[in-house]
Amino acid sequence: MPHRNRPQSKKTAQAHQPNDPDAKSQSLELFRAYPEGEALRTNQGVKIADNQNSLRAGTRGPTLLEDFIMREKITHFDHERIPERIVHARGSAAHGYFQVYESQAAITRAHFLQDPSKTTPVYVRFSTVQGPRGSADTVRDVRGFATRFYTEEGNFDLVGNNMPVFFIQDAIKFPDFVHAVKPEAPNEMPTGASAHDTFWDFVSLVPESAHMVIWAMSDRAIPKSLRTMEGFGVHTFRLIDAKGRARFVKWHWRPVLGSYSLLWDEAQKIAGKDPDFHRRDLWEAIERGDYPEYELGVQIVEEADEHKFDFDLLDPTKLIPEELVPVKLIGKMTLNRNPDNFFAETEQVAFHPGHIVPGIDFTNDPLLQGRLFSYTDTQISRLGGPNFHEIPINRPVCPFQNNQRDGMHRQTINVGDASYEPNSVGEGWPKETAPKDGGFESYQERMDGVKIRVRSESFADHFSQATLFYQSMSEPEKAHILAAYSFELGKVKRPEIRERVVNEILVNIDADLAGSVAQALGLPRPKAGAKRRKPTLAASPALSLLNRVKPGIATRKIAMLSAPGGDAATLKQLRDAFAREGASAWLIAPTLEPIDGLVPDATIAGMPSVMFDAVFVVGGEKAAQALVQSGDARHFVNEAFKHLKAIGAVDTGRLLLSAAQLPDHADGVAQGDAADLKRVLAAFIEAAGQHRVWSRAALAETVPA
């Protein structure tokens, strides 16, 4: 039945306080459809006797217009699709809950950040930015990380990305940026990629984008999984405490498993082998009980310290180095349930950075201010009208009453005579709530100035933090950034754009980087860049992904390579050992023929090495010969070696490594006789727990794969 919006007393409204992580699930129960045991009916409830044939004038005659069953079915089908999001069109999501570690009353009055014994339901959507819904997961791109907290004070949406900064400083440039990064107008290419002229033309002419672009050229743009990806609120917000005092805050999400990336060659191959790689990984992890966990962190800056930095807190192209303001972890989010219906939930969820609750407020960030208008406007268009908040996935868990009525797709049936406030005919309800009783009150910030279209001079430094980021990278990460710029700009057709990026952008970030990119593009080495402001820090180790590694193989996916005739006892021993460490072991073979009763999980051709974190080759004379003679098997271990993954082999399984001509005694390759299994297994687990064997990067370049 539709929700009936009746006048409600303040006492009743305050009594609804969902404290368990299933509160949102329970609130959605009314809207779920369970087809088991139910008769097939039309949308009007009429039982359908024949869903196989339309109504005709004779067995071979024309279909009759009076066939209301067919007309309803076809008409609904014709309108099933809604406009996809302009950006962040491709996404995947999950339900879960958030729990604060201890009361944060010292910095905010937000209710969901007070009681560590209570949980708040959440819904999180991860996404790519540039590509349409049908693009691949592992493209080089920014990733969206949007979280809805269904709090008892209303919905709070923390709408962020996996990078802490953005391409532009002012929302008026957002349409220009999106038009430039999207596929080019004449041919609608490329899909899901930024390696094309219009993107690089724009960023070469807009130097404020330099910091974000270098993040996009780093390993941050190709995360290993959504479960091992950081998130950031991007903008500077305010937290307000119970006494009305304000502090600036930057939001952070930290994956408990640590943060990891793909290699570029790996990401490209995965896009072809499994374009749903990230989506599938998230879904399968939740289904098997490996619930993704993220800690919520805050960087707090007192109002008195607003201007103590060499950058402007309101500039969305800047971050606060953690060495200057540490991130304090205040709570943890656990994603423990997959959506029931992708369209009804993931596709229809409507996030908005303007959805805040008492204790949280905005700043004068000019990009944030524009987004506050844009999101509502977009949702009205995309979801068909102003009542998108009544879609089940968007409804708050707390009661909500107001006089905003009617409109397309209205689901609430408002009753009573009063549709205005104040009123006497409805006993005054719904009424305002005083701030002391939980009503939202905007922070009283003093403002003065003249109307003017100009950027603050404090927003003028575009290169210092890009330099800080690059100088904070490890040598492998720097090499990846160089390779990314070279690859992307190598696909730009207009030489003047390539030259402008090198001579006017990169040279102002790092002269060596600019020179190396110029060499890769066949350009002269650029002259020295303009003098830039010297940053407070020479480097920020916290920016390097390699410093985020958390050793261990928990939740990692390991391929056990074998064939008929393989050593089943060793396979079982390995599977048990990996399970004790929390890893997921897959038996991979040339075919699905059982191996002494063990049925392979997938074939070598159907599940290539790029789908796994590490590879272990098991012995058995007959199996070894089959693998040695298989080009796919040789390529499997070669590719794993090239991608710096741990490799193990025992007994005759070592023959495959020899047949693949892998270098002897390479780092991260553990092998030995059958009697050495315990030692080999320990070395393999140690290497796999580091994610990559970076010490063999140069050697890996010599391997054909």
User: In the structure encoding, which two tokens stand for residue 551, read together?
Assistant: 């050793």
Residues contributing to the annotated binding site for heme: 85, 125, 174, 371, 375, 382
CA 539, 544, 546, 550 torsion-angle sign: positive
- Give every CB contact of residue 514 below 8 A, 6+ residues apart in sequence: 502, 503, 506, 507, 525, 526, 529
User: In the structure encoding, which two tokens stand for residue 538, read together?
Assistant: 């020479």
C-beta separation of 390 from 380 below 8 A: no
N residues, the chain: 705
Cα(166)–Cα(235) distance, integer angstroms:
9
**DSSP-assigned letter for residue 668:** T
Q: Of 284, 382, 383, whose CA–CA distance to 335 is shortest?
A: 284
C-beta separation of 89 from 311 below 8 A: no
Question: Cα-flanking dihedrals φ and ψ of residue 146, to 5°?
Answer: -105, 130
Helix axes 568-580, 677-688, angle to 10 degrees: 40
Helix axes 197-205, 174-181, angle to 10 degrees: 150
SS3 371: helix
Cα(591)–Cα(588) distance, integer angstroms:
8
Cα(395)–Cα(398) distance, integer angstroms:
9
- Give every CB contact of residue 591 below 8 A, 6+ residues apart in sequence: 564, 600, 603
Catalytic residue among 5, 88, 508, 691: 88
Residues contributing to the annotated binding site: 85, 125, 174, 371, 375, 382
**Whether residue 355 lies in the annotated active site:** no
Determine how β-strand 614-617 pairs with β-strand 4-5.
unpaired
The whole-angstrom distance between residue 188's C-alpha and the CA centroid of its chain comes to 25
Helix axes 621-628, 631-642, angle to 10 degrees: 80
Q: Of 511, 408, 411, whose CA–CA distance to 467 is shortest?
A: 511
How far lies 476's CA from each of 76, 545, 637, in Å? 53, 11, 22
Q: Of 232, 183, 193, whose CA–CA distance to 216 is shortest?
A: 193
C-beta separation of 585 from 599 below 8 A: no
SS3 348: coil
Cα(136)–Cα(697) distance, integer angstroms:
27
Catalytic residue among 161, 162, 394, 638: 161
Cα(253)–Cα(90) distance, integer angstroms:
21
CA 103, 108, 113, 114 torsion-angle sign: positive
Instruction: Spell out the alpha helix ranges (H) of 454-567.
Output: 464-471, 475-490, 495-500, 511-520
Burial class (CB in 10 A: 0-12, 13-18, 19+), 382: middle
**Whether residue 389 lies in the annotated active site:** no
Kindly list the catalytic residues: 88, 161
